[in-house]
């Protein structure tokens, strides 16, 4: 049997989703930043990717692995806008090039919540340089989790989304082309999630060396990040897709439109 080629994200919040899969004969696993994982999936260089949720709409008739996602309801801690001025006065935002869904979410929140129309540019995740180039900076992943600089406002985008909609936000999900997975592989992905989500302290200890960062990482995995794609999460995902389609950054998506699953 040829193993399924999995593309995963190297961030802490993705580790419970791939717990033990590197030792499974069913899969090969590689780690990249979200934008590269998406590129590999679109190019056919991996079979299944733990991809930014917006990319499901941009793919070639993709399927979603059921009941598996990286989600949050309220503060997410690891996706944030940083700014030294009130958000209403922000005229330019520099986006972390690692991200795709978070970039789309910023655009949705600018249109529906912040009511601003900033100029958007992109850069690597260097907060000082980004805030020199623009009025605000989008930082994602472990950098955002750990960075809380003084005198700079950190606007948590998970909290902003839930405040706007009352719903969870789906940051990433397993997706790929039809036929890439069978029932055995789907069951193995779910079992990995269950085992990983039950061990936040062990995962954080393996990921960080600093004791304070380990404690923060364990709390984050336990309290902020969830790994199920239930009815509320699907409603949040559909709302995000609908809003993204409304502002022209994704294909049009109607609320209640069927999602395609394995």
Residue 1 has pLDDT above 80, yes or no: no
d(CA 113, CA 105): 11
Residue 239, phi then psi, degrees to nearest 5: -65, -45
Domain 4-67+168-227 -> CATH class: alpha beta
Mind listing the pLDDT tens digit for each residue in 131-175? 999 999 999 999 999 999 999 999 999 999 999 999 999 999 999
User: 209: buried, middle or exposed (CB in 10 Å: 19+, 13-18, 0-12)?
Assistant: exposed
Where is 242: in which H helix or E strand? Answer: helix 231-246
Residue 200 has pLDDT above 80, yes or no: yes
Helices (H), 155-221: 157-165, 183-197, 200-207, 211-219
149 token code pair: 């600089």
d(CA 225, CA 70): 7
Mean pLDDT to the nearest integer, 110-137: 97
Mind listing the pLDDT tens digit for each residue in 31-75? 998 889 999 999 999 999 999 999 999 887 899 999 999 999 999
pLDDT band at 22 (very low <50, low <70, confident <90, very high): very high
Judged by DSSP in three states, 250 sits in: coil
Q: What pLDDT was estimated at residue 131?
A: 97
Q: What pLDDT was estimated at residue 98?
A: 86
> DSSP label at 116?
-
Q: What pLDDT was estimated at residue 97?
A: 86
d(CA 45, CA 5): 8
Closest by alpha carbon to 76, among 170, 210, 212, 201? 170
């Amino acid at each position: 049997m040829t193993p399924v080629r999995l593309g995963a994200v190297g961030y802490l919040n993705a580790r419970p989703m791939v717990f033990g899969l590197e030792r499974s004969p069913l899969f090969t696993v590689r780690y990249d930043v979200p934008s590269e994982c998406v590129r590999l999936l679109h190019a056919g260089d991996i079979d299944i990717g733990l991809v930014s949720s917006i990319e499901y709409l941009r793919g070639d008739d993709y399927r979603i692995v059921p009941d598996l996602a990286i989600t949050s309801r309220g503060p997410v801690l690891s996706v944030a806008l940083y700014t030294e001025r009130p958000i209403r006065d922000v005229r330019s935002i520099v986006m972390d090039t690692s991200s795709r869904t978070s970039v789309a979410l910023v655009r949705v929140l600018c249109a529906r919540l912040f009511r601003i129309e900033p100029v958007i540019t992109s850069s690597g995740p260097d907060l000082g340089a980004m805030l020199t180039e623009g009025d605000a900076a989008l930082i994602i992943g472990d950098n955002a989790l750990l960075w809380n600089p003084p005198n700079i406002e950190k606007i948590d985008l998970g909290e902003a989304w839930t405040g706007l909609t009352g719903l969870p936000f789906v940051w990433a999900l397993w997706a790929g082309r039809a036929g890439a997975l069978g029932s055995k592989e789907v069951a193995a992905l779910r079992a990995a999630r269950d085992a990983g989500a039950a061990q936040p302290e062990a995962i954080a200890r393996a990921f960080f060396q600093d004791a304070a960062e380990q404690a923060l990482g364990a709390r984050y995995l336990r309290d902020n990040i969830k790994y199920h794609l239930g009815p509320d999460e699907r409603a949040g995902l559909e709302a995000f897709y609908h809003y993204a389609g409304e502002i022209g950054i994704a294909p049009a998506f109607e609320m209640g439109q069927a999602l395609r699953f394995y």
